[in-house]
Structure 1
Amino acid sequence: MPPLSYAPLGERPLRRFPQLLVGLALYGFSLSAMVRTSLGVNPWSVLYEGLEHHTPLSFGMISALLGVLVLLLWIPLKQKPTLGTVANIIVVGSSSDLGLSLIPQHLGLAARVGLLIACVVLNGLSVAVYVGARFGPGPRDGLMTGTSAATGRSIRLVRTLIEITVLGVGWLLGGSVGVGTVLYALMVGPVTQFFLPWFAYRRTSEHSVETAGTVIRRRIRR
């Protein structure tokens, strides 16, 4: 797995900061596009909806409070909020609203199915793009990267387990689940894992170590 730990702000900002913003914008847009498919929302939204049935809190308030709770879970994983965490909160909400205003409602079934598949791929791609910039992940993606680093398990496995767990709890609490929800829970982890090597920023020292490792492996094979 490519390195995903935080890299200093001043290190190649003209290359990394645009990547962060583009990734976050695509992430928010993909979430709003998934809403327009009317085939199921992402697992975290299922959890918010389920909790809404059992508390006097609004959907947005539940989302905010769970975001804080997830940040608390960062502590044992040795994760810290960074620029990427703050940017996530600001950019994702804005791009989601933009997506809802641009994508028409009441699409035909074929268009909705195609849009759903595109949403899952775009969402996994966007996570790889903005996490790969290494300015630090958002609250929920930090849980993914922190758990992966702490356990040594792949992003694919960790993300899938988190999404399935959140989906299961949300469903038990009464949240609505669609075919799109299940598809997202099962596929967003593998898609993110697939794209990460393409977009993960590597520092000069990491390039040197990786190159040396490649040379050693080639010599061993000979």
Structure 2
Amino acid sequence: MLTRWVPSPLRLVCLVGGQWLFGTGEAMIVAAHLGNSPWTVFAQGTAVRTGLSIGSMTNLIGALVLLLWIPLRQRPGLGTVANVLLVGTALDLALHWLPDLTALPWRIALCIGGILVVALGSGIYLTTGLGPGPRDGLMTGIARVSGWPLGAARAAVEATVLIAGWLLGGVAGIGTLLFAVFIGPCVHLAVRLVGRIPDDEL
């Protein structure tokens, strides 16, 4: 349990860098205007209703999701807390600097690039072993308590937030579909690639 809170300096760098990449990739997908990942559709929809930025809502939703961990008896770590603070912040900052593209081929390229950056960021911070993000912990907790397969729990949660976010005004579209299809395999590949780094290097 202690190792989830007291990382080596390199693990801490990987944690912060990975989560910053994650937020930057989400911003790239948002800037493509082709449809966001399910949780970002929800964050965008709630941002439209509250007047807050999409990154602020991403962080706030992460903090609120952590409250749902209590009845699920999920154990957080430094990575869990860092996720709440860093991902939405990186998303907002990246959106400030990303260009407003209009040509469809460039928007598609930006969306696909965003998915790859999200996957790389996920692979980097997941392999630090410092605790899952709030949303991942929610889905694994639901799967454990309910007895559902993890895939079914993930699908149910993400479908719920996607529909709610879309109804609130979040953007869903082909980018959402591309994210759903490719993020799993891309994260798996990223974890395998990063996992080749010897443990004593992290």
Normalising by structure 1, we get a TM-score of: 0.69
Shift, 1:194, TM fit: 3.5
Give the equivalent residue in structure 1 for 2:93: 98
Aligned equivalents of 2:33, 2:162: Cα separation in 1: 17
Map 1:140-179 → 2, pairs under 5 A: 140-147=135-142, 151=147, 153=149, 159-173=154-168, 175-179=170-174
Correspondence for 2:21: 26
Name 1:7's counterpart in structure 2: 3
Aligned Cα root-mean-square deviation (Å): 3.4
What is the TM-score with the length of structure 2 in the denominator? 0.75
| Shift, 1:108, TM fit | 2.0
Mapping 1:1-222, distance limit 5 Å: 7-10=3-6, 13-51=8-46, 57-60=50-53, 63=58, 66-147=61-142, 151=147, 153=149, 159-173=154-168, 175-199=170-194
Determine if contact 1:20/1:129 at 8 Å carries over to the other structure. Answer: yes
Distance 1:88 1:73, change over 3 A: same
Q: CA deviation at 1:30?
A: 0.5
Aligned amino acid, residue 97 of structure 1: D
Amino acid at match of 1:117: I
Deviation of 1:166 (Å): 1.9
2:5–2:77 Cα contact (<8 Å) kept: no
Q: Percent identity?
A: 37
For the pair shown, the structure with the greater C-alpha radius of gyration is 1
DSSP 3-state at the match of 2:122 = helix
> How many matched pairs?
196
User: Which consecutive residues of structure 1, in runs of 5 or more, have no partner in the other structure?
Assistant: 205-222
Gaps of 5+ in 2: none
2:143 and 2:15 map into 1 onto residues whose CA distance is 21
Cα offset, 1:132, TM superposition: 1.9
